[in-house]
Amino acid sequence: MLALTSIWTTILLAAAVALGPLATDMYLPALPQIGSDFGSGTSQVQLTLSLYMVGFAIAQLVVGPLADRFGRKPIMIGGFVLFALASIGCALASNIETLILCRFLQALGGSAGPVLGRAAIRDIYTPREAAKIMALLASIMALAPAVAPTIGGLMVAGLGWHSIFLALGGYALIMAVVVTFGIPEPMRPEYRQPLKLCSLLRNYRAIGTDISFLGYTLTNALIFSGLFAFLSGSSFVLIDFLEVPPQQFGLYFAGIVVGFVAGNLSAIRLGSRLVPDQILIRGLVIAVAAGSLMVALALAEVFSVWAVILPQALFMVGTGMVLPQTMAGAMANFPRMAGYASSLFGFAQMAVAAGAGMLVGYLHDGTSLVMATVIAICAVCSLSSYLLLVQRHPAPGFEPHAVSGQ
């Protein structure tokens, strides 16, 4: 077993958490082909992505309390096994309805990785340390979306979209073995919570009425929704509208990931001389500027790959700076209920993102305008949430100028 504070433990946690991005990013190049094979429209195919996020959101409300009762490892391992079985179901699906159902089941198992990865980081580190570790973890995780669309595009071209889900199932089984034998249980025994309905409701109420938690969570969910709006619409915009070959889709997507990694690394570097509040405002301003630029280019009918990729890469720089700070800030006040806090945080993040994704799918007009507009709106709303909630109610122990009772 590795030491909990080892860099290798962080890498393995990142690999476990990366299952979520892999389950969305790897099959993005396949969405047009799935629609063609099943004779389904854009909005129906997009449900395989949005309902995955809905299932992901709902499952997190259960995964966290279970992990606070039984520990992080057994719940994470069970989630990986369920994900693997559902992935096989996706590969064998013969119609769009079956694929949507299996994607929903896949989400129920896949939710364990991100929820318990965040909780484990909070188990191991202080709130300020957790912000840096989460930024490092996000940078490592970014390798998944950097290579996943390219691999997915090549698999679609050579083996068909079914092979993607078989590969995802295999990855989940490998991670179940790695977590079983490689990572110690990070949760302290004295922090275990009773699994009773009254306790569950009481804990969720305590977390959900904490203004500091709500501020960080809403700021995170809205900026993440801008990212998810791009994930939902990018394959239709780039492949269908701008005629990018599926096998090249991942190469352009890698540019987006470079922006995200740059934002993560900037957050790590700035963390030694700036407080989280200062990093947050910088990232949010960058995201708003990037979203506005993409909308302006679409309104001017500048329809090219780079008119989409360059503004989105800049948006991801801001997102990479914002996400680690808001994750750590939301978790800061709840060391004894990290699983609950991570669950509610993840539920809000995925529910809002699913709504943004569905909006892109239903309003898609065949160009990049709808996707760009949703991304810009999400960025502006995230900045507003920060100004109205986070600045007025920073988390004690995370922001140096915060005091208890705010």
Mean pLDDT within 61-65:
84
Q: Please tell me the distance from the alpha carbon of residue 279 to that of residue 276, in angstroms, as a whole number.
A: 5
CA distance linking residue 309 with residue 257, whole number of Å: 11
Instruction: Output b/e per residue, 371-391; b: 16+ Cβ within 10 A.
Output: bbbbbbbbbbbbbebbeebbe
Q: Which of 180, 179, 181, 151 is nearest to 165 (CA)?
A: 151
Domain residues of the chain, as ranges? 7-390
User: Rounded distance, CA 78 to CA 112, Å?
Assistant: 8
Tokens 């340390």, located at residue: 129
Which pLDDT score is estimated for 140? Answer: 62
What average pLDDT does the chain have? 86
Cα 130 to Cα 139: distance, rounded to the nearest angstrom: 14
Name 95's Cβ contacts closer than 8 Å, sequence gap at least 6: 38
pLDDT (0 to 100) of residue 31: 86
Query: ∠ CA 279-316-166 to the nearest 5 degrees?
Result: 130
Contacts of 5 (CB under 8 A, 6+ apart): 124
406 pLDDT exceeds 60? no
CATH number of the domain at 7-390, please? 1.20.1250.20
Over residues 78-91, the mean pLDDT reads: 95
pLDDT band at 39 (very low <50, low <70, confident <90, very high): confident
Q: pLDDT value at position 141?
A: 62
Render pLDDT for 109-145 as a digit per residue (tens, 0 to 9): 988 887 777 778 778 887 767 777 777 666 666 666 6
DSSP element (H, E) containing 330: helix 305-331
Nearby residues of 267 by Cβ (< 8 Å), 6 or more positions away:
131, 135, 279, 283, 320, 321, 324, 325
Q: What tokens were used for 343?
A: 């669950």
- The pLDDT score that the predictor gives to residue 112 is 85
CA-CA distance, 15 to 144, in Å (whole number)? 8
Q: Which of 98-102, 163-167, 174-178, 222-226 has the lowest mean pLDDT?
A: 174-178
Choose among 224, 245, 313: nearest CA to 29: 245
As a whole number of angstroms, the distance between CA 238 and CA 224 comes to 20
Name the band, by pLDDT with cuts 50, 70 and 90, for residue 372: very high
CB atoms within 10 A of CB 269: 13
Alpha-helical segments (H) within 71-196: 72-92, 96-110, 112-124, 127-141, 143-158, 162-182
What percentage of the chain reaches a pLDDT higher than 70? 93
Predicted confidence band of residue 72 (pLDDT cuts 50, 70, 90): confident
The burial of 226, by beta-carbon neighbours within 10 Å (0-12 exposed, 13-18 middle, 19 or more buried), is given as: buried
Cα 254 from Cα 39, distance rounded (Å): 30
What DSSP state is assigned to residue 111? Answer: T
Report residue 405's pLDDT band, with 50, 70 and 90 as the boundaries: very low
pLDDT higher for 350 or 209? 209
Instruction: Single out the residue of 316, 331, 355 nearest to residue 223, CA to CA.
Output: 316
Using one digit for the tens of pLDDT, what is the confidence trace for 243-252?
Answer: 888 778 878 8
Distance in angstroms between the alpha carbons of the first and the last residue of the chain:
41
Residue with tokens 């995201």: 287
DSSP state of 386: I
Residue 44 banded pLDDT, cuts 50, 70, 90: confident
**Other residues' Cβ atoms within 10 Å of the Cβ of residue 245:** 12
- pTM above the 0.85 mark? no
Q: What is the pLDDT of residue 143?
A: 66
Question: pLDDT: is 18 or 289 the higher one?
Answer: 289
